[in-house]
Structure formats: C-alpha cells, structure tokens
C-alpha cells in the first residue's frame, strides 16, 4: 500500500485538489443563487448544465488527449476551468452561468479521463484494486473537504471564488511536474446501447433513476439546507457529512453484496432510502443534530445504489461485453443526473426545499418497482455471476475510461475492448515524451524538485 501511495501520490494529490475545488464550487453556486433569490428552475438548469458537460466531455476528452497528450490536455483544461470559475465573479448575468458550468463539466471530464487512463497504464494488474481504492478515497475526501472549507470561509463573495480557482490552479502542479508520461491513450469503450436496452432495460432505467437522485443531491441539497435556516458554515458541515457517508457506505456494501442476493439488496436499500427520506420530506423544521443524522443515513443509502446497480448489471452480461456495459451505465447515470436537477428545480419554488427529499423517496419507490421486474431476469445470470463487488465512486466522479481501472475486469479483455488508437512507433512516443520535458528514467519531477530544494 505504501508503495502504491508513493508511486501515484502526484495523481492522488491532483485528484484531491481537483475534487476539493469542484465540490466547493457546486455548493457555492447553489448557495449564492439561493441568497440572490434566483428561481429554482434556473438553479436546476445551471446544475444540469454541469452534468450535461460531463456527458459531452467523454467525447471531447478522447479527442483532446489523442491530439496533444495527457499532460497538455490536463493543464489546458485546468486553465479553462480556472478562468470559468473566475467568470462567475465577473458577471452577474445568471443565465451566463449555464454556459460556464457546461464548460467546467466538459473540462472536468477530460481531467478524469487523463487521471484514470494514467492510473490504469502505470498500475500492474495485481495492484489495480489498491490503485482504484485509493483513487476512490481521494475523490470522496476531496469532495468532503470542499464542504469543510465552507465552515471556515462563510463569505459567499469573490474570496470564495478565488479560493476555488486556487484549487484548480494548484491541481495542475503535480501533473505538470511528473515525468511519468508514457500513459497509453485508450479509446473510450464502444457504446452498444441498443443491445443493452434490449438485454437489461430495467437495470438501465434503475441507473437513470439513481442518477436523477444523486445529481439532484449534489446540486440542490445546499438549497434545501439554506431553506432550513442553516448558516453557510452549518450547510458546509451538512454537505461534508453527507458526502463522507458515501465513502463510509462503500465498504460494508462490498461485504454484503458478495454474500447476499443483489436484487433483494438493491430493493431493500431503495425501500430504506424512501423511508429514511420521509422525515426530511415531511417535516419543515428539524433540529440541527437530527438533520445531520438523517442526512448521513439518507446519503449512505443513496450512494450505495449505483455500485449495486453496476454489480447487478455485470451479473446479467457476458464478460466480453462488460467494459461496454460500464460506459452505457455511466451514460445512463449522466443523463439522469442532468434530468433530476431540472425536475426538482421546477418544483422547488411552488413546493419548497423539502421537495428534494420527497423526490428521493419517489426515486426509491421507482427503483423498488424496477428491481421487482429485474427479479424475473435472474435466470439470465451468466456463468461467472455473481461478479466480485468493487467499491467505486458514483459516475459523476469518473470517466468512460474508468472500466480500465476496475480490478474485476480482465486486463486482456480491457485492451481488446478499449484498444489504443496510437499507432506510431514506440521510439517516436518516447521522443515526444522527452520534448514535453519528461525523463522516463525518473519517478517524478516533484522528487527532483525536492532534491534541488
């Protein structure tokens, strides 16, 4: 484990800083718009634009990395995001923020693709599980720390935007100084959407419903908290605890998923989500301590749904199609995450902030109905089912290349499904790497800089 952390420390540091800025920005935008009395529909549109950008960014990132390489792609995207973040402070024209959030979503997906393809290429097959696990911890920890910053930086003015821009500027430093530039550029997994719609329609619909709930949470939970008369610092604590619950839930979930029927587990999880969300949906005022406790429980159940749906889908699909399946599940999740904030945002103004948790309860009941239908499909389980459950971040924090990091997938199958599109000779690759300032014989540029210091 220590060796894994040492080798990939620059990439994990970059991930943590990037997600810290992203998590802080999402909550900041929601709180800033709420304090400015912007309509719920417009808030939902701005949040949805970010997720639409993430979906589109899967294609853009593939082209950009192929064109200029990993380091240049990451650095350029970090620069664009920094400028877009500062753009929020340069204009008070709120509809313009939709375009800014779209750009940020696209660039962040490119950054995810750089990090995940790099991690996959530099990790051995036997250590991919540890590499993926540390990456997951870095993503959730970064998102949580972004909320903690709000407890210390309660001002919603320009200083908070400068802090967010600072995180995105600093996240490119470890990448810019590293000399590990031999990451292969994998193509995104092919989309066999028509096949999967015919083979596992209920699982895809379940994933879309999960995306609707999770996307609404990230964007509109701060709005709910502000309507509960919480201060900015209290809202930051509420969000930090809720997001950290997603990390805590992964480990007992992996144990349960490998020992019990996953369809029943998914249905039970959804029922518990619907029940746990009811107090937050029906009660207009709750004590702060009770609000934190209920928020933690609801978030644990909410963030457990996507890994369960992924594991169940893999049980129903042949091994050679599982990499493509991961890409389709990510797309379904992203589409749902774009729809959810729009729907809830339209309902916030007439019905109030409690609508968010009422929406979670409805999504839970929808997932229960869909999982009962999936029960009839269990006869389709492939021979190697159940597939070992892998703890993973939700797909708002991963890219179409994330299947390559999954230790449950065979490496040869990944290479066959997601082939490298780089056909130039190896010597030219090395020459290009050296032209970028890379020294493949050294571990990292950070190490050399430290020695000189």
- Residue pLDDT, tens place only, 407-429: 666 666 666 666 655 544 444 44
Question: Which residue reads 């204009």 in tokens?
Answer: 91
Q: Determine the pLDDT at residue 163.
A: 92
Q: What percent of the chain has pLDDT over 70?
A: 79
Record the pTM: 0.84
Average pLDDT over residues 59-68: 82
What is d(CA 361, CA 338) in angstroms, rounded to the nearest whole number?
19
Average pLDDT over residues 18-30: 91
How many Cα atoms sit within 13 Å of 278 on the Cβ side?
Answer: 7
Q: Determine the pLDDT at residue 177.
A: 78
- Coil, helix or strand at residue 1: coil
Q: What is the band of 37 on the pLDDT scale with cuts at 50, 70, 90?
A: confident
Tokens of 180: 């590990």
Tokens of 19: 């997600």
Average pLDDT over residues 41-54: 90
Tell me the average pLDDT of the chain. 81
Q: What is the band of 94 on the pLDDT scale with cuts at 50, 70, 90?
A: confident
Q: What percent of the chain has pLDDT over 90?
A: 33
What is d(CA 397, CA 211) in angstroms, rounded to the nearest whole number?
12
What are 273-328's pLDDT values in tens digits? 999 999 999 988 888 999 999 999 999 999 999 988 888 888 888 877 777 888 88
Q: Point out the least confidently predicted range of 145-149, 209-213, 255-259.
A: 255-259
Q: Determine the pLDDT at residue 434.
A: 38
Q: Determine the pLDDT at residue 438.
A: 43
Higher pLDDT, 91 or 154: 91
The gap from C-alpha 107 to its chain's centroid, in whole angstroms, comes to: 13
Q: Is residue 452 predicted with pLDDT exceeding 60?
A: no
Q: Determine the pLDDT at residue 432.
A: 46
In terms of C-beta density within 10 A (0-12 exposed, 13-18 middle, 19 or more buried), how is residue 376 classed?
Answer: exposed
Q: Point out the least confidently predicted range of 44-48, 150-154, 328-332.
A: 150-154
Q: Determine the pLDDT at residue 425.
A: 41
Q: Determine the pLDDT at residue 393.
A: 72
Give yes or no for a contact between 270 and 371, defined as CB atoms under 8 angstroms apart.
yes
Higher pLDDT, 28 or 175: 28
Spell 243-257 as b/e; 16+ CB within 10 A means b: bbbbbebbeebbebb
Instruction: Please choose, from the candidates 275, 243, 16, the residue with its C-alpha nearest in 3D space to the C-alpha of residue 135.
Output: 16
CATH of 2-435, picked from 1.20.1250.20, 2.60.40.420, 3.40.50.450, 3.50.50.60, is: 1.20.1250.20
Q: Determine the pLDDT at residue 81.
A: 94
């Amino acid at each position: 484990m220590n060796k894994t952390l040492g080798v990939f420390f620059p990439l994990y540091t970059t991930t943590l800083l990037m997600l810290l800025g992203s998590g802080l920005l999402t909550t900041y935008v929601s709180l800033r718009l709420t304090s400015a009395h912007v309509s719920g529909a417009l808030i939902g549109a701005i949040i949805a634009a970010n997720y639409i950008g993430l979906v589109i960014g899967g294609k853009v990132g593939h082209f950009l990395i192929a064109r200029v390489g990993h380091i240049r792609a990451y650095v350029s995207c970090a620069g664009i995001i920094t400028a877009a973040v500062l753009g929020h402070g340069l204009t008070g024209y709120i509809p313009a923020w939709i375009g800014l959030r779209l750009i940020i979503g696209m660039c962040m997906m490119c950054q995810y693709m750089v990090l995940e393809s790099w991690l996959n290429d530099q990790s051995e097959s036997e250590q991919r599980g540890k590499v993926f696990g540390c990456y997951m911890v870095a993503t959730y920890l970064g998102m949580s720390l972004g909320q903690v910053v709000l407890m210390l930086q309660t001002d919603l003015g320009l200083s908070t935007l400068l802090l967010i821009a600072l995180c995105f500027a600093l996240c490119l430093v470890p990448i810019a100084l590293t000399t590990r530039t031999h990451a292969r550029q994998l193509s995104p997994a092919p989309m066999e959407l028509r096949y999967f719609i015919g083979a596992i329609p209920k699982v895809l619909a379940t994933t879309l419903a999960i995306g609707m709930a999770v996307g609404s949470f990230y964007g509109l939970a701060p709005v709910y908290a502000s309507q509960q008369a919480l201060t900015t610092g209290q809202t930051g604590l509420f969000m930090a605890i809720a997001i950290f619950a997603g990390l805590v839930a992964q480990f007992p979930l992996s144990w349960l998923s490998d020992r019990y029927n996953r369809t029943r587990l998914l249905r039970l999880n959804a029922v518990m989500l619907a029940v746990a969300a009811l107090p937050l949906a029906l009660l207009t005022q709750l004590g702060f301590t009770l609000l934190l406790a209920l928020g933690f429980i609801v978030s644990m159940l909410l963030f457990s749904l996507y890994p369960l749906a992924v594991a169940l889908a893999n049980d129903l699909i042949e091994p050679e199609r599982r990499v493509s399946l991961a890409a389709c599940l990510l797309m379904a999740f992203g589409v749902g995450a774009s729809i959810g904030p729009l729907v809830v945002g339209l309902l916030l103004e007439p019905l109030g902030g409690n609508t968010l948790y009422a929406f979670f309860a409805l999504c839970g009941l929808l997932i229960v109905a869909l999982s009962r239908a999936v029960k009839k499909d269990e006869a389709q389980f492939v021979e190697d089912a159940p597939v070992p459950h892998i703890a993973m971040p939700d797909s708002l924090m991963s890219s179409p290349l994330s299947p390559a990091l999954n230790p449950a997938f065979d490496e040869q199958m990944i290479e066959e499904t997601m082939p490298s599109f780089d056909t130039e000779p190896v010597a030219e690759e090395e020459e290009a790497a050296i032209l970028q300032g890379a020294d493949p014989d050294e571990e990292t540029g950070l190490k050399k800089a430290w020695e000189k210091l």
